[in-house]
Amino acid sequence: MTGPRMLEGMRVVDLTSVVFGPYATLTLADLGAEVIKVEGPTGDQFRYAGMPVKTRGMGACHMNLNKGKQSVVLDLKTEDGKAGLTRLLATADVFIHNVRGKAVERLGFGYEAVKAIKPDIVYVHCVGFGSGGPYRDLQAYDDVIQAATGTVGLLPRANGNPRPRYIPSLIADKVAGLHAAYATLAAIVHRLRTGDGQFVEVPMFEAFSHFMMLEHLYGKTFVPQPYPAGYPRQIDAERQPFPTADGWISIVPYTDQSIGLLAELLGAPELIEEPRFADPLSRMQNMTAFYAEIARRTPAKTTEEWCRIFAENQIPAMPIRDIEDLVDDPHLQAVDFFQHRQHPTEGEYLRTRAPVSFSVGLDEPGPAPTIGEHNDALLGKG
């Protein structure tokens, strides 16, 4: 069934750019909030990530990251631009931005100034580093945060290559964006209960440190420290996709029962009788050798054969795919994850739907906007 959108009636004035903030507001837009994307005259720079096929500023990444939003162009260096933003803020429930603190104060849109315009505003500041620390004035992008959190050193631990490597995803931006989304919703719930808005700061460095260190704090959890930081299972050199007769496969034998069954299916039941693999603690201490024993045996069958065998025996496993092929995944096709849609200016395109679902249903968000598409509707022609 389809009902009112979950956040229907909530207006978000969005002065964020690139990925961190826009991913947060995409989440809110998917849930039904009215998101007004405020851009400078040339548009958010991430509009140009991926060559547009027809219209300037309608690059591939923008088409998904900013779907369901409206676009207003305002030059905040001018009085007219500031007046336009002030008018929008007077009607807003949420103001979210990633302008650095001193700069936004100079523009006249710090928290106290915006609170004077809309007393119950939920004011969300997306920053690189928290305002209480010495990095507070530094710029931050995904690569910088991956470096600062030690993330770039994890792949070298696993593959033995000393060169630091970025995870090939804007993972810090997107993780921080999800933190910003739930923080915004928590502040909205607080306002519904009390009538009061508030200032919310979401620092990417702290958000991604929290994300990475849940498991990788590891030995530093205890004082004094009994063993190193870094969850061994995640950085083991042999914990990689296993080779098959015609490709690669991911296998996760996590429980005692599944490990014993896997050994049987591999034709090596004697493995779990060896002292070094006989119990969870022994396997943990000899994890590299255990994964190597699995890798010695998986080339005996094709990926498809192993996937069928493991599915029949409830062993978690999936074939290794190229990202180019994910759109053809039968499960994602069945749940309509990749949606073919018609854009008013760009024609047919493919977009992702929100990954969550609700029993009340959600109306579908609209397409990504062209630069300044909604100026007249939201601000008038004058």
Determine if the peptide bond prior to 162 is cis (ω within 30°).
no
CB 141 within 8 A of CB 129: no
We report the CATH number of the domain holding residue 263 as: 3.30.1540.10
Distance (Å, whole) CA 183 – CA 202: 8
Confidence of residue 255 (pLDDT cuts 50, 70, 90): confident
Distance (Å, whole) CA 186 – CA 198: 11
Pair (159, 61) in one structural domain: yes
Instruction: Report pLDDT digits (tens) over 207-238.
Output: 999 999 999 999 999 999 999 999 998 998 88
360 or 84, which is more confident: 84
Task: Identify whether 169 is part of a domain.
Answer: yes
Q: Is 140 helix (H, G, I), strand (E, B) or coil?
A: coil
Residue 290's domain spans which residues? 242-319
Pair (43, 167) in one structural domain: yes
Pair (298, 256) in one structural domain: yes
We report the CATH number of the domain holding residue 95 as: 3.40.50.10540
Residue where one domain finishes, among candidates 319, 346, 368: 319
DSSP per position, 67-113: TTEEEEE--TTSHHHHHHHHHHHTT-SEEEE---HHHHHHHT-SHHH
Instruction: Report pLDDT digits (tens) over 95-122.
Output: 999 999 999 999 999 999 999 999 999 9
pLDDT of residue 1: 45
Instruction: Report pLDDT digits (tens) over 336-348.
Output: 999 999 999 999 9
Pair (200, 308) in one structural domain: no
pLDDT of residue 254: 80
Pair (272, 358) in one structural domain: no
Summarize the confidence of residues 349-371 as an average pLDDT.
90
Pair (156, 205) in one structural domain: yes
Instruction: Report pLDDT digits (tens) over 266-296.
Output: 999 999 989 999 888 898 889 899 999 999 9
Task: Identify whether 236 is part of a domain.
Answer: no
The residue ranges of DSSP E strands in the chain, in sequence order, are 11-15, 34-39, 69-73, 94-97, 122-127, 198-203, 242-243, 248-251, 317-319, 338-343, 347-352
Kindly state the tokens that stand for 108: 């006249």
Pair (362, 291) in one structural domain: no
Task: Identify whether 348 is part of a domain.
Answer: yes
Pair (47, 139) in one structural domain: yes
Distance (Å, whole) CA 213 – CA 91: 39
Percentage of the chain lying above the pLDDT 70 cut: 98
Pair (365, 310) in one structural domain: no
Mean pLDDT of the chain: 95
pLDDT of residue 362: 75
Among residues 329, 312, 271, 314, which one has the least CA distance to residue 295? 271
Pair (49, 192) in one structural domain: yes
Provide the domain count of the chain: 2
Pair (201, 61) in one structural domain: yes
Summarize the confidence of residues 246-275 as an average pLDDT.
93
Pair (36, 111) in one structural domain: yes
Distance (Å, whole) CA 191 – CA 188: 5
362 or 327, which is more confident: 327
Distance (Å, whole) CA 356 – CA 166: 28
Distance (Å, whole) CA 125 – CA 101: 8
